[in-house]
Structure formats: C-alpha cells, structure tokens
C-alpha cells in the first residue's frame, strides 16, 4: 500500500507533458503515492458534453489530493460548435471545469506564491516575495449571471434607485453578472492570509479591493479585514485599491508580502504578480479547502506548444511541491524547492521562455538531479 492516493489530471494541451515532468521530480524525492489518472477537459466536452465527468469527481473523492495540468476553454458559441454532432442543439453549455472543481469541493482558498528565484533572467527584481490569497468560490465567479435578464430579477432590481438610469433598456439588451461575497467567504480568505503571514514570517497583509466604489462587496471584505487584523497584532494590515495595487506591483513589489483579495481581483493581480517573477512558467497555485486540495500550474493548455516538449515545467513542479507541503511532507517539499532554486541560479538549463533551448524534460531532469 502506498501512503497517498493522488488524482492525476493532465487535461489538455501541454498538461500531460508538464505533469510527466513533475512526476520525474516526485519520484526523485520518493513520494510514496499511487497516481490515478482522471478524465478532464476539452476532449470530454466534445465527446460527452461534459468537461468534468462524474467519474472524475468520484475519483477525486477517493484520493488525498489532486495534481492538475491545464485546460482549454473557449467562449460559449465556439464551444458549442465543437460538440460531437449528436450532442449539438441539446442546450449544453461549456463551463470551466477548474472553476467547477473549486466550487464542488469548496476549495475556498487559492494560494499563489510568487517569489523571485535569484538568477532568473525574467525577474523584474530579485527580491520579490509575494503570496496572493485569492478567494476561490464566490464573487464574480459564482456563476450567477443573466442574459436576457428575467422579468422577476429585473423587477427586484428596480427597487434600487440607481436602476432608474436603465429604465429604457430592454431585458434582452442587458446582461448581469452578480458579485456575491459572503461574510464567511471573506473571513476565510482573510484568516488564511493572516495565518500564513504569521507562520511564514511575512509582516504585512494587504487587502486588495475597491471599497471607495464597490461599497458593499469590497466594503464587506475590508471591514472584515480590519476586524480580523485585531487578532494578529504582529501583522500589519494594509489596504490598497486594486488599480493602485497593479501600479505598485510594478513599481515597488519588494515592499509587499501577503496579498488577499476576492476571486476576480485575485485572478488579475496574481497574473501580474506571476509576471514580475518570471511569468506563467513559474506560477503555481493551490486550490485548498477544508478536506481536499487541487494543485495546478496557473498557465493554460498552450495548444501551440502541445506535444513539443518545450514549455517550462517549473510551474507544475512547484505545484507538486505545494502539494507535498499540503500533505505534510515538508522535507520532500523543501528538497524540491532547493533544487528548483539551484537550477535557476546555475543558469545552465533554461527553457525557451528564459531565453534557453532546454526542453521540458531536460529542465525536469536537471531539477531531479539537483535533488540530493
């Protein structure tokens, strides 16, 4: 019997290649796990009308954690056009399976560490060490959207004085995406951010919202942040609007530590934070709930590089490292972390994004060999 059961979801495009790269490194640290492959992604949307089949959900339920590769997503109409002929016209709509997994398993916290590895030619600076905590199940991603706007919703909204301006607009000429925050959702992401700052030695938590304009939802997040900050006297709470945050992240990223934000703003600032430490080839994420977690590189399926053994596997290797941390395998996780840092610092093996010619496999092998 192995110690762990890991759901292994390569997904689309380069997903399979980067997951195999992570496998090389996990084997090298003697990670004692059975990896069980599961179906997810575009292929299953086309052939079954569901990119996240029930059998995959059942598989995840029988495992300790999941490592996930990448997914191709396309807009609604393009997705519908690619369905197998017998599935067309049945009202099936594509929705992102990773967003689905986050909600289905209540993976409320999206943890995205963005640390510059010294020697990476892509760093904006070498002293950046940011960690983004992104609320992962609510906000604009909750999926409560309308087009055309149903009459009942319209009537309910009309009780708001600001709706007057839209009185001449027909229901079919209006689209509404709701931004739902719950107190519990805000508290959970903020508490996770403060706990992480405490245990990992960060001095500040910056709540990134826009309460001067989006008064109710961003306002709730910031009010909860102030209340929770009282319980962490050693950590300073900073409040920064999301637009200004984008500017500061380019100007003075070294001044920040932990950032906490809602789903959509967290999505945006985490791409920005990823780019200043090397880009999506380095960015890993943990989707973490109370009883389960899914780890992934934050890049997409990069169809134009699929099958070329070309993309940088470091993001996925770091995702695997985060999975080890989650499972309590700290020593193995640290070995991977040190090996990644060493290979980057040495600078002999670099993938195309870093200006080199190394393949996905060569980078993974270099990291595996650096593990002592």
96 binds, among Mg ion, ligand IPM, none (CB under 5 to 8 A by kind): ligand IPM
Q: Please give the size of the binding site for ligand IPM, defined by CB under 6 A.
A: 6
With CA atoms as reference, report the closest residue to 327 among 26, 81, 13.
26
The window from 26-34, 96-104, 124-132, 237-245 that contacts ligand IPM (CB under 6 A) reads 96-104
With CA atoms as reference, report the closest residue to 176 among 217, 145, 141.
145
Handedness of CA 15, 21, 22, 24 (dihedral sign): positive
* Residue 255 binds to ligand IPM (criterion: CB under 6 A): no
98 binds, among Mg ion, ligand IPM, none (CB under 5 to 8 A by kind): ligand IPM
Smallest gap, in angstroms, from Cβ of residue 293 to ligand IPM? 14
Smallest gap, in angstroms, from Cβ of residue 73 to ligand IPM? 6
Task: Tell me if 312 sits within 8 A of 353, measured CB to CB.
Answer: yes
Smallest gap, in angstroms, from Cβ of residue 285 to ligand IPM? 6
> Is the Cβ of residue 35 or residue 287 nearer to ligand IPM in the bound state?
287
Choose which of 9, 40, 98, 349 interacts with ligand IPM (CB under 6 A): 98
> Is the Cβ of residue 31 or residue 181 nearer to ligand IPM in the bound state?
181
Binding positions for Mg ion, rule: CB under 5 A: 267
Q: Which residue is nearest to Mg ion (CB)?
A: 267
Choose which of 135, 209, 267, 365 interacts with ligand IPM (CB under 6 A): 267
* Residue 298 binds to ligand IPM (criterion: CB under 6 A): yes
Smallest gap, in angstroms, from Cβ of residue 283 to ligand IPM? 9
The window from 4-12, 55-63, 91-99, 317-325 that contacts ligand IPM (CB under 6 A) reads 91-99
> Is the Cβ of residue 96 or residue 106 nearer to ligand IPM in the bound state?
96
Query: Six-digit token pair at 29?
Result: 């640290």
275 binds, among ligand IPM, Mg ion, none (CB under 5 to 8 A by kind): none
Q: Which residue's entry shows tokens 């690619």?
A: 82
> Is the Cβ of residue 17 or residue 267 nearer to Mg ion in the bound state?
267
> Is the Cβ of residue 72 or residue 351 nearer to ligand IPM in the bound state?
72
Smallest gap, in angstroms, from Cβ of residue 99 to ligand IPM? 5
* Residue 259 binds to ligand IPM (criterion: CB under 6 A): no
Binding stretches for ligand IPM (CB under 6 A) = 73, 96, 98-99, 267, 298
């Amino acid at each position: 019997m192995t110690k762990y059961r890991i759901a292994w979801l390569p997904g689309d495009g380069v997903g399979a290649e980067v997951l195999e790269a992570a496998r090389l490194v996990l084997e090298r640290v003697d990670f004692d796990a059975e990896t069980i492959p599961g179906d997810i992604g575009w292929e299953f949307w086309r052939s079954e009308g569901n990119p996240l089949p029930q059998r995959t959900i059942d598989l995840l339920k029988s495992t300790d954690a999941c490592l996930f590769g990448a997914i191709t997503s396309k807009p609604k109409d393009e997705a519908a056009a690619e369905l197998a002929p017998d599935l067309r016209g049945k009202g099936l709509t594509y929705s992102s399976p990773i967003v689905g997994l986050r909600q289905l398993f209540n993976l409320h916290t999206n943890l995205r560490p963005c640390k510059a590895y010294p020697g990476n030619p892509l760093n904006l600076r070498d002293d950046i060490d940011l960690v983004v905590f992104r609320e992962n199940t609510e906000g604009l991603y909750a999926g409560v959207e309308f087009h055309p706007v149903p009459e009942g919703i319209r009537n309910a909204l009309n009780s708001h004085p600001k709706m007057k301006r839209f009185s001449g607009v027909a229901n079919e000429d209006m689209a509404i995406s709701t931004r739902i925050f719950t107190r519990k959702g805000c508290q959970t992401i903020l508490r996770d951010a403060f706990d992480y700052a405490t245990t990992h030695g960060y001095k500040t938590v910056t709540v990134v919202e826009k309460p001067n304009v989006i008064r109710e939802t961003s306002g709730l997040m910031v009010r909860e942040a102030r209340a929770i900050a009282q319980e962490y006297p050693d950590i300073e709470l900073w409040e920064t609007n999301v637009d200004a945050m984008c500017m500061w992240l380019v100007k003075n990223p070294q001044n920040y530590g932990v950032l906490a934000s809602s789903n959509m703003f967290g999505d945006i600032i985490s791409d920005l934070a990823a780019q200043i430490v090397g880009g999506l080839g380095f960015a890993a994420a943990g989707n973490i709930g109370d009883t389960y977690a899914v780890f992934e590189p934050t890049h997409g399926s990069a169809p134009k590089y699929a099958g070329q053994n070309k993309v940088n596997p470091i993001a996925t290797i770091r995702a695997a490292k985060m999975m080890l941390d989650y499972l309590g395998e700290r020593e193995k996780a640290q070995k991977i972390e040190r090996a990644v840092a060493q290979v980057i610092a040495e600078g002999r093996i670099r993938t195309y994004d870093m200006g080199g010619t190394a393949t996905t496999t060569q980078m993974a092998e270099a990291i595996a060999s650096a593990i002592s």
